[in-house]
């Protein structure tokens, strides 16, 4: 989507976003790197036929992730809404349901893979009669891979919750464990055990289970935010998870159908196994590069859902803008490097001149598509976060199914395998242009401001006069916003005593953050402040990016017998309808709601 403005915002939201996105990108990449290593080792030591067979199992992996993504993303969005307002009990109920559903899905997949593996291979577009040389290798790999299916599903579900729960380091560690153990297992299998394609699948499964074990260490800690709890689980939660997860289900389903049909198209038009192998290399590298888009998109999904749930327009705009600029800057650089280095990358896989020539072309086509692909993915994840289901379903079906299949068929019939490889870039660019046209139609012209491309419901976040947004980084800022809070409350019908108490609350709580908050490495102590009015309710939120620091607990620990000490905090706590604190994305978030009677 088009971007307005280009100044990088070095603030709380930028810090929250970047650190979370780096972990998400790294986590996604290590898993894909392990898969690519599978392909390289298989191609180098076992042969092109074996590699082609493993590459053609891509739809099967997407089928496994289909239901995991459904519950993972649905739960992530609903949880983020609850986290956005500090509702821990309901967030834990959603987390619990997501985990239990994942266990049931994993069991069902393992049973089906054991009972009817031939059906899965036919879904991937390969039958024993049509391609016996590929079928047998695919079956062997499936027998080894199915052992790890439960771990794959549980990792997909747990990782986003852990990122929200400040478990980013453990998520990164688990991804590293997956990558290193899978690489080691591949080489041991190829050079020592000589277990063939089956051994490759087993090595991947073992690595996946080790990754899951590392993740589970997070839930041993007592201070974690998420815990198994059926306490607040409601039918509405299950419905909300289903509605929000349905978008990811459609995405994955469209991806599976796309891979199945493009597999079939490629097998029809390919003149040799070399063309199938080159397309497999393109798919491998596209999966690796797409990790950047996924990492940025998933982070935007979670943060946009969190700010959308809190009706925080300022936070939502800043997160959206930062994500889109990050997509352009990062993927443009990566795309140029990959385009230039395509011959070197190709030679890592193979020394076969026919495969090399085709793969260089396929890699360069993929490099051209990186920026529009990243913007498309981030935009769709943002739409999913703000629950614009109709538009995101339309775009994702066009991106994941209609455009790639149509362009692959048309270009494949015209130019053979090279046309199918080029269709990746052509389809992504067409989708980007389609999204731009939709924006222009909605705006009745070219977009002029950021809100024009955000597709928010009318009146989102309330009127301008019903909100104050500010950044607090000094005591002078605290005093200023305390005065603004008093004026705001009086203007919205709060009596003089209540307005004074809210002003004192802002001054003392903001002061606690500035005086006692400890900045993270490379940062400074600052907080995003918001006060809003919605009907008869006044809401105050403070978000900082300091070391974990609960201002409420600090006040309790340092309480003395002087009744005038921290009087603003004490009196507002008595008046407040609700006060909540959470620490998520390594950011301290405090919410206070006051009923104006």
96 in Cβ contact with 228 (< 8 Å): yes
Question: In the chain, what percentage of residues exceed pLDDT 90?
Answer: 11
**Model confidence at 557, in pLDDT bands (50, 70, 90)?**
very low
**What whole-number distance in Å separates Cα of residue 281 and Cα of residue 51?**
10
- Identity of the highest mean pLDDT range in 151-165, 272-286, 482-496: 482-496
**What whole-number distance in Å separates Cα of residue 507 and Cα of residue 92?**
32
Q: What are phi and psi of 536, to 5 degrees?
A: -100, 20
Give the pLDDT confidence score for residue 263 in this predicted structure: 64
pLDDT tens profile 128-162: 676 777 778 888 888 888 888 899 888 888 888 88
Give the pLDDT confidence score for residue 9 in this predicted structure: 38
DSSP secondary structure letters along 214-260: HHHGGGG-TT-S-----TT--HHHHHHHHHHHHHHHHHHHHHHHHHH
287 versus 109: the higher-pLDDT residue is: 109
**Model confidence at 574, in pLDDT bands (50, 70, 90)?**
low
75 in Cβ contact with 95 (< 8 Å): yes
435 versus 575: the higher-pLDDT residue is: 435
* 419 pLDDT higher than 60: yes
Give the pLDDT confidence score for residue 4 in this predicted structure: 36
Close Cβ partners of 538 (under 8 Å, ≥ 6 residues apart): 489, 492, 494, 502, 531, 532, 593, 594, 595, 596
* 292 pLDDT higher than 80: yes
**Model confidence at 322, in pLDDT bands (50, 70, 90)?**
very high
pLDDT tens profile 15-51: 778 888 888 888 777 767 766 777 778 877 887 777 7
Query: CA torsion 382→388→394→397, rounded to 10°?
Result: 50
* 214 pLDDT higher than 70: yes
Close Cβ partners of 407 (under 8 Å, ≥ 6 residues apart): 423, 426, 427, 430
* 573 pLDDT higher than 70: no
What is the CATH code of the structural domain delimited by 464-595? 3.30.565.10
Q: How many CB atoms lie within 10 A of CB 305?
A: 28
- Identity of the highest mean pLDDT range in 22-31, 356-365, 541-550, 586-595: 356-365
Give the pLDDT confidence score for residue 329 in this predicted structure: 93
pLDDT tens profile 74-97: 877 787 777 766 677 777 888 888
What number is the average pLDDT over the span 506-525? Answer: 77
Give the pLDDT confidence score for residue 135 in this predicted structure: 78
Give the pLDDT confidence score for residue 551 in this predicted structure: 52
What is the pLDDT of the chain when averaged over all its residues?
A: 79
Helices (H), 116-234: 117-123, 132-145, 149-164, 168-188, 196-216
- Give residue limits of the domains in the chain: 24-234, 270-461, 464-595
528 burial class (0-12, 13-18, 19+ CB within 10 angstroms)?
Answer: buried
530 in Cβ contact with 468 (< 8 Å): yes
pTM (2 d.p.): 0.72
**What whole-number distance in Å separates Cα of residue 551 and Cα of residue 189?**
54
Give the pLDDT confidence score for residue 164 in this predicted structure: 76
**What whole-number distance in Å separates Cα of residue 434 and Cα of residue 201?**
40
Q: Which of 115-124, 305-314, 453-462 comes out lowest in average pLDDT?
A: 115-124
Longest dimension (CA), the chain: 86
CA atoms within 13 A on the CB side of 201: 23
Phi-psi category of 462—alpha, beta or left, where left has phi over 0 and alpha has psi -120 to 50? left
Give the pLDDT confidence score for residue 335 in this predicted structure: 92
Q: Residue length, the chain?
A: 597
CA atoms within 13 A on the CB side of 334: 23
* 480 pLDDT higher than 80: yes
**Model confidence at 569, in pLDDT bands (50, 70, 90)?**
low
CA-based nearest residue to 81, from 309, 234, 242:
309
**Model confidence at 500, in pLDDT bands (50, 70, 90)?**
confident
**What whole-number distance in Å separates Cα of residue 505 and Cα of residue 567?**
8
Give the pLDDT confidence score for residue 212 in this predicted structure: 92
Residue found under tokens 């009087």: 567
385: its two tokens = 């976060």
- Identity of the highest mean pLDDT range in 256-265, 316-325, 588-597: 316-325
328 burial class (0-12, 13-18, 19+ CB within 10 angstroms)?
Answer: middle
524: its two tokens = 């400074």
57 versus 365: the higher-pLDDT residue is: 365
């Amino acid at each position: 989507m088009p971007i307005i403005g280009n100044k990088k915002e070095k603030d709380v939201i930028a810090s929250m976003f970047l650190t979370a996105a780096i972990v998400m990108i790294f986590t996604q990449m290590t898993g894909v790197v392990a898969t690519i290593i599978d392909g390289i080792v298989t191609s180098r030591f076992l042969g092109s036929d074996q590699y082609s067979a493993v590459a053609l199992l891509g739809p099967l992996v997407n089928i496994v992730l289909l239901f995991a993504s459904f519950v993972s993303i649905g739960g992530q969005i609903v949880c983020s809404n609850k986290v956005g307002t500090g509702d821990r009990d309901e967030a834990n109920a959603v987390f619990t349901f997501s985990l239990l559903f994942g266990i049931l899905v994993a069991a069902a997949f393992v049973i089906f893979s054991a009972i009817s593996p031939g059906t899965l291979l036919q879904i991937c577009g390969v039958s024993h009669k049509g391609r016996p040389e590929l079928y047998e290798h695919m079956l062997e790999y499936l027998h080894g891979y199915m052992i790890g299916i439960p771990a794959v599903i549980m990792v997909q579900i747990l990782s986003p919750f852990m990122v929200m729960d400040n478990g980013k380091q453990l998520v990164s560690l688990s991804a590293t464990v997956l990558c290193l153990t899978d690489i080691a297992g591949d080489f041991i299998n190829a050079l020592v055990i000589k277990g063939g394609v089956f051994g490759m699948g087993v090595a991947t499964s073992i690595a996946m289970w080790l990754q899951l074990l590392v993740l589970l260490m997070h839930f041993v800690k007592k201070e974690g935010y998420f815990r198994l709890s059926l306490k607040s689980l409601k039918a509405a939660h299950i419905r909300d998870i289903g509605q929000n997860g349905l978008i990811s289900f459609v995405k994955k389903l469209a991806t599976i159908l796309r891979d199945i049909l493009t597999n079939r198209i490629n097998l029809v038009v390919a003149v040799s196994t070399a063309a199938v192998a080159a397309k497999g290399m393109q798919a491998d590298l596209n999966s690796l590069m797409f990790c950047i888009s996924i990492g940025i998109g998933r982070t935007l999904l979670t943060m946009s859902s969190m700010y959308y749930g809190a009706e925080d327009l300022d936070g939502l705009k800043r997160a959206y803008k930062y994500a889109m600029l990050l997509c352009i800057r990062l993927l443009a650089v990566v795309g140029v490097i990959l385009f230039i280095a395509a011959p070197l990358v190709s030679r890592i896989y193979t020394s076969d001149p026919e495969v090399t020539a085709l793969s260089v072309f396929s890699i360069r086509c993929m490099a051209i598509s990186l920026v529009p692909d990243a913007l498309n993915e981030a935009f769709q994840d943002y739409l999913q976060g703000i629950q614009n289901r109709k538009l995101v379903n339309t775009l994702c079906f066009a991106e994941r199914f209609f455009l790639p299949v149509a362009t692959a068929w048309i270009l494949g019939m015209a130019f053979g395998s090279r046309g199918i490889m080029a269709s990746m870039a052509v389809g992504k660019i067409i989708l980007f242009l389609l999204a731009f046209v939709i924006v222009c139609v909605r705006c009745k012209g070219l977009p002029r401001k950021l809100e024009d491309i955000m597709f928010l419901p009318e009146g989102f976040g309330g009127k301008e006069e019903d909100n104050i947004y500010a950044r607090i980084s000094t005591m002078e800022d605290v005093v200023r916003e305390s005065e603004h809070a008093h004026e705001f409350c009086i203007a919205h019908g709060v009596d003089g005593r209540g307005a004074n108490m809210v002003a004192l609350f802002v001054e003392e709580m903001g002061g606690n953050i500035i005086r006692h908050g400890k900045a993270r490495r490379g940062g400074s102590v600052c907080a995003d402040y918001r006060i809003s009015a919605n009907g008869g309710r006044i809401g105050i939120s403070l978000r900082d990016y300091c070391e974990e620091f609960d201002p409420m607990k600090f006040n309790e620990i340092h309480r003395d017998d002087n009744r005038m000490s921290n009087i603003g905090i004490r009196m507002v706590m008595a008046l407040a309808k609700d006060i909540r604190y959470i620490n998520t994305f390594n950011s301290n978030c405090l919410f206070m709601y006051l009923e104006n009677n």
